[in-house]
Amino acid sequence: MGMTIGEKIIARAAGVSEVKPNDIHTVKLDRMMSNDGTTHLTVDMYKNKLKHPRIADKDKIVFIMDHNVPAENPKTAEAHKKMRNFARENGIKLYEGQGVCHQIMMEDYVCPGELIFGADSHTTSYGALGAFGTGVGCTDFLYGMVTGSSWVMVPETLRFNLHGKLREGVYARDLILTIIGDIGANGATYKIMEFAGDGAHNLSIDERMVLCNLTVEAGAKAGIVEPDEKVADYCRQHGREAVHMFKSDPDARFAAVYEYDLSQIEPVVVRPDFVDNFALLRDVREEKIPVDEVFIGSCNNGRLPDLRAAAQVVKGRKTAPSVRFLVAPASNQVYIDALKEGIITTLMEAGAMIMNSNCSVCWGSCQGVIGENEVLISTGTRNFKGRAGHPSSKVYLASAATCAASAIAGTICGPEDL
């Protein structure tokens, strides 16, 4: 019987020739990533709960500080110190303040066909390069760090056949928010979302990352785009070789198959407090909803094409006086590229505050937290109740272009409304 991409990756990691959904397998982990959201907890357990702790393979582990960077209070400073010291003591590679963890993993590590555990829910991002990335808690991370392995139950796969191209002014962000709106916030719970078809191959690696990153918001264990030459090129450009470029077999079993014509996708605005609270920009704009803050950044939507789209919208314009406009490039590499292109200048001339590369407003701590009854429109990952600050505050999700236009107008709208 044929296997899907995700099944092939698990079979490889388990050292078996075939797996099928609901089988439980012990797997070797190709790589593990942990950030400053929870690494200090893993370190505490490692030091205090295990009598003979050891690390299976330090070279497979990456620590990345991105959630509270630079530290904003003594508590996070202590958590950082713990993480930094542990990395030093054990020879673990540590990144500090160089970008959001998933962006750094993509730039420096991820290879197609790998099975990667990250102590962060948006680890699903790595499917943009044909890898199986999945989020775990700090205890699963500890187990992986000590044993080099873990267990997985093989998920079923949902197949999304994408056709054609997105129209001008419509983004991968609109596509994935549409899909989540269609299948719901638990529409892919414990499943793999696999993207293929000419429409998927038309998407850049950055766009594929937008797609895979948000699959967890539909409950998915992994999101994977069928790898192709663009993946091999990306790996080559970043000094790596793409070895395991898995594709689903013609007779692979899918729990469901969905077809999407990309030319039919429209700009989306997701309303509070759930990621599947889908609405179209053309309906929401009529309501002229005032915003207090606009954020462009995050592991979902803080890359060069996103910043470029925002700059095109705000060029020669000024942020509304009632709005705080915050931008955090996803990594220092993105930041440098945006500087060279003049994007940062354009955004600053329009009144944007440029933050260092970190999780920033998306994670509701450290930077740009919003107050009572305030409204944020964001390219971040989530709009849960209180996600970005006070429990009564509201978060809308949209593309960078829609967010940028809203910053200028002071109400939720698109670039064509300016």
Q: Which residues bind other proteins (CB under 8 A)?
A: 24, 37-38, 41, 45, 49-54, 68, 73, 75-76, 79, 119-121, 135-140, 142-143, 146-147, 151, 153, 185-186, 189-190, 216-217, 219, 221, 274, 363-365, 369, 382, 384-387, 391
Distance, CA of 238 to CA of 128 (rounded, Å)? 15
Question: Which C-beta is closer to other proteins: that of 53 or that of 305?
Answer: 53
Q: How many CA atoms lie within 13 A of 66 on its CB side?
A: 31
Cβ at position 414, least distance to other proteins in Å: 28
Alpha-carbon dihedral sign for residues 212, 305, 303, 296: negative
Residues with Cβ within 8 Å of 171's Cβ and at least 6 positions away in sequence, in order, are 207, 210, 267, 306, 309, 399, 400, 401
Question: Which C-beta is closer to other proteins: that of 6 or that of 37?
Answer: 37
Question: Which C-beta is closer to other proteins: that of 204 or that of 277?
Answer: 277
Cβ at position 293, least distance to other proteins in Å: 16
Cβ at position 247, least distance to other proteins in Å: 25
Cβ at position 385, least distance to other proteins in Å: 5
Tokens for 156?
Answer: 């079923």
Q: How many CA atoms lie within 13 A of 83 on its CB side?
A: 30
Cβ at position 53, least distance to other proteins in Å: 7
Residue 391, Ramachandran bin (φ over 0: left; ψ between -120 and 50: alpha; else beta): alpha
Cβ at position 367, least distance to other proteins in Å: 12
Cβ at position 287, least distance to other proteins in Å: 23
Question: Which C-beta is closer to other proteins: that of 119 or that of 200?
Answer: 119
Question: Which C-beta is closer to other proteins: that of 22 or that of 237?
Answer: 22
Q: Is residue 390 packed enough to be buried (19+ CB in 10 Å), middle (13-18) or exposed (0-12)?
A: middle
Cβ at position 371, least distance to other proteins in Å: 12
Question: Which C-beta is closer to other proteins: that of 378 or that of 402?
Answer: 378
Question: Which C-beta is closer to other proteins: that of 257 or that of 384?
Answer: 384
Cβ at position 177, least distance to other proteins in Å: 16
Cβ at position 265, least distance to other proteins in Å: 24
Cβ at position 214, least distance to other proteins in Å: 12
Question: Which C-beta is closer to other proteins: that of 187 or that of 267?
Answer: 187
Question: Which C-beta is closer to other proteins: that of 58 or that of 151?
Answer: 151
Q: Could you tell me the CA-to-CA distances from 230 to 200, 202, 207, 276 in Å, in that order?
A: 11, 9, 12, 30
Question: Which C-beta is closer to other proteins: that of 90 or that of 202?
Answer: 90
Question: Which C-beta is closer to other proteins: that of 38 or that of 331?
Answer: 38
